[in-house]
Structure 1
Amino acid sequence: MDQPKNFIVISPHFPDNFSTFSVRLRERGFNVLGIADVAYEQLSDTLKNSLTEYYRVNNMNDYDQMYRAVAFFAHKYGKIDRIESHNEHWLELDAHLRTDFNVFGYTLAELEPAKKKSSMKKRFRELGLPVAKGRIFSDQEDAFYLAEKLGYPVIVKPDSGVGAGDTYKVNDSDQLAVFFEKRDPTVDFIMEEFIPGDVVTFDGLCDQDGNIVFYSSLEYNIAVLETVENDSDMYFYLPREIPEDLIEMGTKIVEGFNIKERFFHFEFFRTYPEGILMPLEVNMRPPGGPTIDMYNYVNEFDIFAEYANVVKENQFKSPSKRLYNCAYISRKANKDFNYLHDNEAIRQELGKALVGIQSVPDIFSTILGTEGYIVRSPDLEELFEHIAYISKKQDSFIS
């Protein structure tokens, strides 16, 4: 395979931390060609300096505009070697453009098993993996029949959707009736049995041949769905130690979905009380929020540079040392109680263990809070102590 040179980045400015992809690609000698719907003047100076050229469209959901943008770059710079956004929202758009311009990477045909949750479940079964019982329901009558068959509570979510949006835990028939009063009738929904357990992830990056060159995992104190439903604080962390069964099942899914030269983010249930691992869904992108930056804090390398190395030379050059456990802790300014420790006290108490404090854009605040704290420690027990200190509230009686 010839070394790629023309790399189109879809929506290179969003989210903010993903702009580093463009920076590192440019440093590795790529023509980095950006396409988005914001004015060039609104891009950061760092991103502007990393783009060989930028093409603004009025509407990124208008495929004709996006097609013309890629065609313009192809006419000016020659063959387009890569098209990528690293963003779930544009996953199908990326694949459509790759298909039409014959670009390496996931095409529309290859994307299909990873696009819909029902298709994912089918592929999991083909791989011999256990899955939650459930299926798409056709109408209200079918939904009530299925809920009775599965047994309440059930989980109802869009068959094709991103994150915890429009996902509901339905506890009884009355709540199911309320769901049908609010649901979008144009959207297919899938219903699954409720699985008691923790959500864990297997995340990483594959090279051009489908080999996993980096992997990690996330564990959460509460499910993202509960964070959204209850407007709760939450934390998640990257553990240094990753269970062997998670690595084994994650590797099997990478092979089963033919993942090449891209990030992946797989979600699993770890069931109560058996501790059985059960795949929930696959996402062909990096984990959201600050997680990709946390890879760097855990390993003391540059994951953005390593991605560029994989694209250019098919090599991931830095060892995964896993020197630290690393956590993200959310705090929400809209809660009725006050936190016991302010930011200055947190800085004094945690010292070097505090990687940083960040203000969270409103679009992410429902899940990630209005302020986020990233901490790390080689010792997991100490990490939990730091989490407790940051999360402690004035009305809490827990020491």
Structure 2
Amino acid sequence: MNYIVISPYYPQNFQAFSLELAKQGITVLGIGQEPYEQLDQPLKEALTEYFRVDDLENLDEVKRAVAFLFYKHGPIDRIESHNEYWLELDAALRTQFNVFGVKSSDLMKTKLKSQMKTYFKKAGVPVVPGQVVTKKADVAQAVKALGLPLIAKPDNGVGAVATYKLASQADVKAFTEQWNEETAYFFEAFVNSNQICTYDGLVDAEGKIVFATSLIYTEPPMSIMQHRSDVAYYTNPKIPKKLEGYGRQIVDTFGMKERFFHIEFFQEADDYIAIEYNNRPAGGFIMDAYNFGYSINLFEQYARLVAGKDFQPSNYPAQLALTVIRRDDKTYHYSETQILEQYKPQLKARLRMPEAFAALQGNDLYLLNANSEQDVKDMIKTISQLA
């Protein structure tokens, strides 16, 4: 089996995909921008061949790289980056070379927020009303139809980037004046909830869910961007029954196969409102948090599925896995030395966030296991306490 990994070097923690695929006897072929000399030694050893391109954004150049690897190694069975940024490139390459997985025609339902909402409705999951806006002339009509406050976000966008809360006519005017109409926006009714959770997991080649968990954020991403607050989130192994039901209905409706998924929800009282379907693993170091919390190696388990083997669940009881990230420009009550000493038994990793994520998420990441939500709250309070 030949498996092409797009951008095998970055992000660094996702190098584990290549390493585990190689351990399963799969021929791993890499296409990336970094010089071969820059690759970590374990990654070099996992890759049968690495083809460097000048620019991964250049579709024709990447297609030529795939064609060369096809000519040299035979038919390509998988093309994957597991990275939000390259999802459209992955799909275009699969379409061009008729490779198993999501094709370009399948992608829009997981890239366009307007399309996602249609599929959420098909799944019978609560959503808020929304409308696509492509011209400034359409803004007033959308505001009239949806009412204020509302959220304006790129229809094809990632997270809370370039997202605006329009709470007044002054906000609407400011947005309209600065918007250049190059990006279609999706307007939707504002949900007054500070609780965001997820239904995340992995499906096999038949679309069956083989692993599932839930992630709880202490603050919405948009609020984090606005206030530059510290980021904290934790896994919840005891997935609420209603949330799991919604999640399974959504996974069935979207119909993806042999992929990770990361579905975001607002929680309102005892119900949930679907926000976004991400057709990829959760970003940052969340995969590592899952591995520590569940005593499992999801990189390995994914590779087993690709190799046609069964998923092997963990034999150990799950714990809550907490991630807290502090910022360089803040002064904290407890020093890093004190934090590392106090939580030595619970601390699983201390990591530095890549610069690409630092502005949104922060700089120094602490990953800990906990036995209860009260432990989680105490840890967040201590680690994030300012001087």
Q: 1:207 aligns with which of 204, 209, 214?
A: 204
Post-superposition offset of 1:252: 0.8
Pairwise CA distance, 1:190 = 0.6
- Report the AA paired with residue 145 of structure 1: Q
- Would you say 1:302 and 2:293 are equivalent positions? no
Kindly state the Cα deviation for residue 177 of structure 1 after the two structures are TM-superposed. 1.8
- 3-state secondary structure, aligned to 2:267: strand
1:382 matched residue in structure 2: 375
Tell me the residue number matched to 2:14. Answer: 18
Match of 1:191 among 162, 187, 191: 187
Which runs of no fewer than 5 residues in structure 1 stay unpaired?
395-399
- Conservation of the 8 A alpha-carbon contact between 1:33 and 1:53: yes
Match of 2:154 among 139, 151, 158: 158
Secondary structure at 1:214's aligned position in 2? strand
Q: Give the counterpart of 2:257 among 234, 255, 260.
A: 260
From 336, 339, 343, the counterpart of 2:336: 343
Structure 2 residue aligned with 1:78 = 74
Asked whether the equivalents of residues 9 and 85 of structure 1 are also in contact (C-alpha less than 8 Å), the reply is yes
- Please give the residue correspondences for 1:97-176 in structure 2 after superposition, counting only pairs within 5 Å: 97-176=93-172
> Who is 2:240 aligned against?
243
Indicate which of 3, 6, 27 corresponds to 2:2: 6
Structure 2: give runs of 5+ residues left out of the alignment: none
1:352 aligns with 2:349: no
Alpha-carbon distance change, 390 to 38 in structure 1, aligned in 2, over 3 angstroms: same
Could you tell me whether the CA contact under 8 Å between 1:220 and 1:237 is conserved in 2?
A: yes
The answer on whether the counterparts of 1:289 and 1:368 sit within 8 Å (CA) in structure 2 is no
- Answer yes or no: is the 8 Å Cα contact 2:3–2:79 preserved in 1: yes
The answer for the alignment partner of 1:222 in structure 2 is 219
Separation in 2, partners of 1:104, 1:388: 46
Deviations 1:340-397 (A, max 9, x none): 1111111221121111221222211123211111111122211221121111112xxx
> TM-score, length-normalised on structure 2?
0.96
> Aligned letter for 2:306?
V
Counterparts of 1:324-335 in structure 2, within 5 Å, are 324-335=319-330
The amino acid of 2:324's aligned partner reads I
8 Å contact from structure 1 (residues 341, 390) kept in 2: yes
Displacement after TM superposition at 1:51 (Å): 0.7
- What letter corresponds to residue 271 of structure 2 in structure 1? I
Distance in 1 separating the partners of 2:306 and 2:338: 43
- Measured in 2, the distance between the counterparts of 1:181 and 1:58 equals 37
Q: Is the 8 A contact 2:134 2:181 kept in 1?
A: no
Offset of residue 314 of structure 1: 4.0
Separation (CA, whole Å) in 2 of partners of 1:313 and 1:376:
32
Tell me: CA distance 1:251–1:60, structure 2 relative to 1, closer, same or farther (3 Å).
Answer: same
- Is residue 120–residue 282 contact of structure 1 (8 Å, CA) maintained in 2? yes
Q: 1:69 aligns with which of 65, 68, 90?
A: 65
Residues 207 and 314 in structure 1, CA contact (< 8 A), matched pair in contact too: no
- Which sits farther off after the overlay, 135-144 or 157-166? 135-144
CA distance in 1 between counterparts of 2:124 and 2:215 reads 24
Check whether the contact 1:6–1:33 (CA below 8 A) recurs between aligned residues: yes
1:289 corresponds to 2:284? yes
Partner of 2:231: 234
Question: What is the Cα deviation at residue 142 of structure 1?
Answer: 2.2
Q: Is the 8 A contact 2:196 2:218 kept in 1?
A: no
1:364 is matched with which residue? 357
CA RMSD across the alignment: 1.4
For residues 277 and 88 of structure 2, what CA distance do their matches in structure 1 show? 14
Question: Partner of 2:270: helix, strand, or coil?
Answer: coil
CA contact (8 A) 2:199 2:264 kept: yes
Please give the alpha-carbon distance, in whole angstroms, between the structure 1 residues aligned to 2:128 and 2:295.
37
Counterpart of 2:89 (choices 77, 86, 93) is 93
Residue correspondences, number = 386
